[in-house]
Amino acid sequence: MYERNDRSYLLDMQEFAKQVLSYLDGKSHDDFMNDRILRDAVAYNLQVVG
């Protein structure tokens, strides 16, 4: 059975954080606040990191 190590968890966290940054790239605060799908996507990825 495959066992994950700390490094693999950290790499996953890094990927989810990068995804959040890509979602937010070029977006203003108003864009974020007015786009529920964007907010949900960011929240989901941050929950996975946490």
Residue-number span of the structural domain to which 36 is assigned: 6-49
Compute how many other C-beta atoms are within 10 angstroms of the C-beta atom of residue 9.
10
Domains in the chain, number: 1
User: What is this structure's pTM?
Assistant: 0.82
- Asked whether residue 32 is domain-assigned, the answer is yes
How far apart are the C-alpha atoms of 11 and 49, rounded to whole Å?
Answer: 10
Q: What is the pLDDT of residues 18-50, one digit of tens each?
A: 999 999 999 999 999 999 999 999 999 999 988
- Asked whether residue 1 is domain-assigned, the answer is no
Q: Are 20 and 46 in contact (CB under 8 A)?
A: yes
